């Protein structure tokens, strides 16, 4: 079975998804519009994120239930700590929807990667769909795209707040000697590009590492065919549970880091003196 090879989860990610024996393969002229596993999981993450907020808005009450109170606590934490603590008040009010949406979308996408779903890329065993795990945020193209949105938003917001000349002039400290200003300008430009790289690679690498660890444990359980080795299944299953709980924690941490760094970068571009 292909699930025994953890690398298949990533090498097959760009192939058209096979659901119930039908390939989701489409072309718009010369452009390949096929729905691969990455796209499918992106759609799923976006749909669940939107559905959660819609349902909560529909059932919101003046006297909140426990579920509503729990979500409101998370909402207030994101608003006051994740955004409000690192951005000026006016910038926080304007950029809170983006930062909050980014946080919840990445969090939900990360958690979806821990749930086996029947989105197989083959016919399966006797036409029974194979349940596989995958996270869209474990694809470097996705994380680069998310980081690129923050990258563009950072510089656009900085230019709108300070003007093009004022914004790029802020890359050079006014107290620096004239001979060093050009050097500092180039170094700052390089650091901005490294922000794009670090944002995308950090999320991608952590999700891939955790995902592979889980797949290795799953594969080890399935490979045990000897009765004498069956006693290993119990500790292996316990290990899978422990690693899964840890991965949920990592999923939250990575979403938090990506969102708060986005808030820091955008806030710093708007108010360069800070």
Task: Output the six-digit token pair for 42.
Answer: 């992106």
Residues contacting 268, CB < 8 A, separation 6+: 154, 274
- 122 by Cβ neighbours in 10 Å (0-12 / 13-18 / 19+) ranks as middle
Residue 229 pLDDT level (bands cut at 50, 70, 90): low
CA R_g for the chain: 23
For position 1, what pLDDT does the model report? Answer: 40
Q: Compute the distance between CA of residue 271 and CA of residue 267 in angstroms, rounded to an integer.
A: 6
* pLDDT of 3 above 50: no
For position 218, what pLDDT does the model report? Answer: 60
C-beta separation of 215 from 6 below 8 A: yes
Instruction: Report the pLDDT averaged over residues 186-190.
Output: 89
* pLDDT of 170 above 90: no
Provide the mean pLDDT of the chain. Answer: 77
* pLDDT of 22 above 80: no
**Percentage of the chain lying above the pLDDT 70 cut:** 69
Q: Which of 45-59, 211-225, 238-252 has the lowest mean pLDDT?
A: 211-225
| pLDDT tens string 96-125 | 999 999 999 999 998 888 777 776 554 444
For the chain, what are the domain ranges? 2-270
Residue 210 CB coordination number (10 Å): 24
Residue 152 pLDDT level (bands cut at 50, 70, 90): very high
Task: Please give the angle made by the CA atoms of 216, 136 and 220, to the nearest 5 degrees.
Answer: 10
Q: Compute the distance between CA of residue 178 and CA of residue 167 in angstroms, rounded to an integer.
A: 18
Task: Output the six-digit token pair for 241.
Answer: 């549970």
For position 123, what pLDDT does the model report? Answer: 47
| pLDDT tens string 51-68 | 988 887 777 676 677 777
Task: Output the six-digit token pair for 106.
Answer: 């990445």
- Of 71, 65, 79, whose CA–CA distance to 53 is shortest? 71
Residue with tokens 């000897």: 226
Q: Compute the distance between CA of residue 80 and CA of residue 29 in angstroms, rounded to an integer.
A: 48
Instruction: Report the pLDDT averaged over residues 247-251.
Output: 80
Task: Please give the angle made by the CA atoms of 261, 110 and 255, to the nearest 5 degrees.
Answer: 15
For position 4, what pLDDT does the model report? Answer: 44
Residues contacting 253, CB < 8 A, separation 6+: none
More confident: 114 or 201:
201
**Percentage of the chain lying above the pLDDT 90 cut:** 15
- Does an H or E element contain 242, and which? helix 233-270
For position 144, what pLDDT does the model report? Answer: 92
Residue 216 pLDDT level (bands cut at 50, 70, 90): low
More confident: 3 or 202:
202
C-beta separation of 236 from 217 below 8 A: yes
């Amino acid at each position: 079975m292909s699930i025994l090879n953890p690398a298949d989860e990533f090498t097959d990610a760009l192939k058209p998804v096979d659901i119930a024996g039908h390939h989701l393969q489409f072309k718009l002229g010369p452009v390949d519009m096929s729905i691969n596993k990455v796209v499918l999981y992106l759609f799923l993450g976006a749909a669940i994120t939107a559905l959660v907020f819609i349902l909560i808005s529909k059932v919101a009450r003046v006297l909140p239930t426990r579920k509503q109170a729990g979500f409101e606590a998370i909402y207030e934490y994101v608003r006051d700590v994740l955004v409000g603590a690192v951005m000026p008040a006016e910038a926080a009010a304007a950029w809170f929807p983006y930062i909050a949406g980014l946080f919840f979308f990445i969090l939900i996408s990360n958690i979806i990667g821990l749930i086996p779903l029947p989105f197989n890329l083959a016919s399966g065993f006797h036409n029974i769909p194979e349940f596989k795990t995958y996270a869209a945020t474990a694809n470097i193209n996705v994380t680069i795209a998310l980081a690129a949105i923050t990258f563009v938003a950072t510089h656009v917001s900085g230019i709108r707040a300070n003007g093009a000349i004022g914004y790029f002039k802020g890359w050079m400290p006014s107290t620096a000697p004239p001979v060093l200003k050009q050097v500092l300008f180039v170094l700052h430009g390089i650091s901005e590009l490294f922000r794009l790289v670090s944002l995308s690679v950090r999320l991608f690498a952590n999700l891939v590492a955790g995902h592979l660890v889980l797949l290795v444990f799953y594969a080890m359980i399935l490979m045990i065919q000897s009765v004498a080795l069956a006693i290993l299944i119990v500790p292996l299953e316990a290990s899978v549970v422990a690693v899964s709980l840890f991965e949920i924690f990592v999923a939250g941490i990575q979403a938090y880091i990506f969102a708060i760094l986005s808030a820091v970068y955008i806030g710093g571009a708007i108010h360069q003196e800070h």
